[in-house]
Homo-oligomer: A and B are copies of this chain.
Amino acid sequence: MDVAALRSQIAQAAERVRVEKPLAGSVTNGVTMDFVANAQLAAGGSAAMVYLPDEAECLVDIGGALYLNMGTLMPIYEQTIPAAASAACCAGKPWVVDPVGIGIGALRSRLLAGLKDDRPTIIRGNASEIIALATLWELGGDAGTGPLGVDSVDEVETARAAAVALARWTGGAVAVSGVCDLVTDGQLVARCQGGSALMEKVTGFGCSLGGVTAVYAACADPFTAAVAAVMLYNVAGTRAAARTTLPASFKMSFIDEMAAAIPSDIAEGPLALEEV
């Protein structure tokens, strides 16, 4: 696989998403549900969010992919998260996990530990979250500084070994968000640039990227899907930042630019590829 081939696959994935409008159901963060849903729609997909176990199973059944975000856990998620992951595994459908808030509270750790054997198709997080998940799953790597709340305290490159180890374990892809994003399938490492520092001034860019990744995962292999979603975020973020320097205007412009981006806009952004 070279960069040109990857770009071609990304363009195809983006095109398929626009045509097929895949549903990626979510069990996700209450803070950012609206942003996740609107980002999924702007990317070309369809969105539905639920809290209850059998509803999550139903979304797996009718959807093309599933998104599990560990934010704002409710007591019922003790059942919902494992049921949803298990349903996706059984159905052979792609699913994306965002380990946001890893380390906060006993339920989150228990749920994330329990997902190890389900081998999520794509894991997306910031550097601190990816390092913490690799540590939780005992896949080695440096323990990092650990997440401080929901913001990363580690640089993306620090999470490279953890990301590779996670991807080799799952057999899928891992995306690490940061100034220079890193995506790996355990063999290849893609680095993508773009976006804007404003993305850290608005809540939900991480969560919604996970949701959009799930939409793409319904239409592409895990590595392509993860890179494509990151590149969509980078191009839309770059373009939105050209319109405004203020956070709420930026968020609005970002969704607008996502909706306006055509497959070649997404596929032609800054991208480098290397072997692990």
Contacts and interface: CB of A to CB of B under 8 A. Distances in A.
Interface of A: 23, 25, 30-35, 37-38, 41-42, 46-52, 54-55, 58-59, 62-63, 71-76, 101, 103-108, 148-151, 201-204, 244, 246-249, 251-256, 259-260
Contacts of A42: 201, 247-248
A75 B72 contact: no
What is the copy number of this chain in the assembly? Answer: 3
A219 B199 CA distance: 24
A106 B105 CA distance: 28
A73 B55 contact: yes
A210 to B, nearest CB: 15
Contacts of A35: 34
A89 B148 CA distance: 21
A151 B40 CA distance: 14
B48 A150 contact: yes
A47 B31 CA distance: 10
Nearest to A106: B54
B260 A38 contact: no
Contacts of A54: 105-107
B202 A41 contact: yes
Contact of A105 (B55, B202, B252): B55
A51 B33 CA distance: 15
Given A23-B151, A247-B259, 16 more contacts: A30-B30, A30-B33, A31-B47, A37-B203, A37-B204, A42-B201, A46-B150, A49-B71, A49-B72, A50-B73, A50-B105, A62-B148, A74-B76, A247-B255, A248-B252, A249-B256
Given A51-B72, A105-B58, A249 B252 contact: yes
Contacts of A259: 201, 246-248
B48 A73 contact: no
A74 B72 contact: no
A124 B253 CA distance: 31
29 contacts: A23-B148, A23-B151, A30-B51, A31-B37, A31-B47, A31-B49, A37-B204, A38-B251, A41-B201, A47-B203, A48-B101, A48-B150, A50-B72, A51-B72, A52-B74, A52-B105, A52-B107, A54-B105, A55-B73, A58-B103, A62-B148, A62-B149, A74-B76, A246-B255, A246-B260, A247-B255, A247-B256, A248-B254, A248-B255
